[in-house]
Structure 1
């Protein structure tokens, strides 16, 4: 392909080593600027339906300095990088809404242009090679006029390492969300180091030789794994479910995920009882295993029991054990879960399903640190750390008389609430790649990646079954996808899942900005015209195209940009209808 040319084919962009002229060929930014609104009477700034704020760059520099001086440069860099990642991931969600019918290059340009619009940096493309379907990406970019480097120089002077942490995080979040695969952007030159401008290189995470040197700043804790750092190998086709699940590590970068990691890091060295709360499938047992593995009990047993899976008449013997002859059929003595977990951790899942009788006996074991086997008179001391989990509201169960209040307060020493997957959107792509690697190895399949439709569906699906459902869908996709092909939406959602995208979920708590004073209320006028029967969809479309052409002085491409659509679509409408506009036929 010729240097500086870009392909607008569905499978990707090819823009390699553009010429001096080509590097300025980004689409017009007017469609983005038009979505920016200031409502000073209410103290609000909006971009589309998302509330924004304006801050002095010196204020960001002051926060940066205080973070470095209080928590150290490593932790400060991690916090600032993760903040940028969240912003980039959020901006990537808007791409298909802002430029729904644009080619890949114009859609991709939303990120660099948003970053410029937000006042951080001016982006210049040096090399770009993208294939959305396979997740392939290679890019080289120049950051000119970096606000972050400028403030770092003013505060600290010259640096011997790159300092554009917020911008690097933004680029990582935007690229990863845009392509549906975890990317890693690395700043290789920085103005704060004496370079004339900052330069970054972006590639897929697994294409770097040492990704953790930068990716670790996206993870709040060292025990969290990146998808590429864990290589799955299943040499035996009869690998058990237990062996496979033992290989799964915590994966995530979202603020909700990192908060949970911070909390278990704090409580791990203690003896405190921990109560994990959250919907079914959010990974409570995996977090409990991690808590055990990073504690000083890591070399001792981790024993898990699902209280909902044990019949009520057997739960006592399962927990505390039984002596030979303790009840009819007890032909030999058997230790219970408490004894087996002695010195380690006992995980009680679905604890809200225990009967009141079992709850009373569990409370005594927790308070006294001793148990009695059924049919035995001997009291046995046990050193067990109890970690419980439930997807029910225990306070409601207490009020309903279904759960003992004294046991609730004994368990509720250190509650940890795990957010559902729909509130951890930044984690979806990491988990998708994690499970894709795992099940490709398990089932010995070669799958190239995901189609754009599949990625969009994965990102906007509500995930009622949380991570467990995501894992099942990825395994299903790996099995159904063609060899050496991509996973499409038809390979994933085959069991009646509702994948309808709801625009109302774009921003949970945001209220749309009101019309500024003096601006006509177009929605009210539109309702009146529709109610009176004076307006139809055809006439509305013709009028909109005509007005756009008038504003663009008859330029069809300009009208398409005003309308937020493609030139081909406007031209198609013009070919089939009589639309009054000046200078028809201009390019």
Structure 2
């Protein structure tokens, strides 16, 4: 549908955009939707721009600031579509200039806007008044030989390209930063610009940066090879807690000593076990991992130590067990506490004598295997309760290592999140814009009872629920859990627990609800009805009040009310 802007038309109400700004002063944070924002003096940015020009030169600095604006535009295009799903294409597009003004970057006055998204036609002519980049030129750089509104231009290009679904290029045809009487930009499809290839080159990484990246890549490759030579594969983590674990394991890895890995479920015990193996002199030999809890008790001995033909019904042929397959290498016994008493006795003999007999056999077989055991329970307590042999415990507990849970190594969360994000981008053949600032904030304040395994599953779900070229939101990561309050600084924590600013107020009304005997379904229904009332019975408006997407609210309303209001 073609839409042409006429000068007498007014901007749509900006309330839907301005309502997304939240100041959470007690946390030192400002939010625009799911983007974390900053308030900083223009003079600081002016000094930064001057230093970039001095360091890189005009052309390279221009490319840097164009790319800076480009990233901001992508985020705002996503926000505009979410906030104005039922608006005209023109009103959705105008959210970009309105967000520019809301952020204090300039005053935007459209002269002509001609849009036809379906046919891919776009033309815009806009005056930019009171540009912050012109002010920077006036205070720090002086008049320039070329248009100076670089960041604003990068923003306009990316915002409009994302909006149209095709490449749109804006250019300044006049700029006060170079002495013209006004700043005016024209935007149209890339094909309509004769020099589009030359302009698009600004959005590629600077050659100097590319050279630095190449050098960094070479250094990283060399370090990786050195680490590979040493067998140092400790997964992802740079926090002090995790580095201490790696240093501790280094001391034991070279020998044959048994290692007992302790820690909650999902902390990465098998990753550490493989690290011990790769760090040892046995790195070229087999590594066999066994989950003792996954094998039926009556089969555990045969699986671990082998079985001779005819030893029991169903044993139609002789076969080696996991220990024989791991000969010369390492065996990892996860959930070792689940071993039966007979299996514990046989394991003790393997550790003490280095030999075993298959189930139903009489031949003693010499075995050279390093044992790494793991459990998320307290073995000492199991010994006291008679569930685990004391002599086996002392054999396994020669070198115990306590692996910290994820909540005690939060510095590693961004690294782990990016690691899994890259993994699932490749697995699902899609490319999101990464995590929104608010999503990362929620991750930092969640307790992660399932540790790294839970983090991996949460990120996989987030990638699945998020479309390509969109940011992964809080709701995509934590559907169904309590989300942060829109204005109060309430944060997501352990399984929906409320913390930080607003916690006392939340606790008060939670107590009132529980004392009144009101069920969860009724609370949800009351919240949705009130949001619909305040949103004038518009589902999209009510969804914004509740911090949800329109489809998510529509689904819940359909369950509660049996239908949706007309919009």
TM-score by length of 2: 0.50
Q: Write 1 or 2 for the structure with the bigger share of helix.
A: 2
Q: Which has the higher contact order (CA 8 A, sep 6+)?
A: 1
TM-score with structure 1 setting the length: 0.48
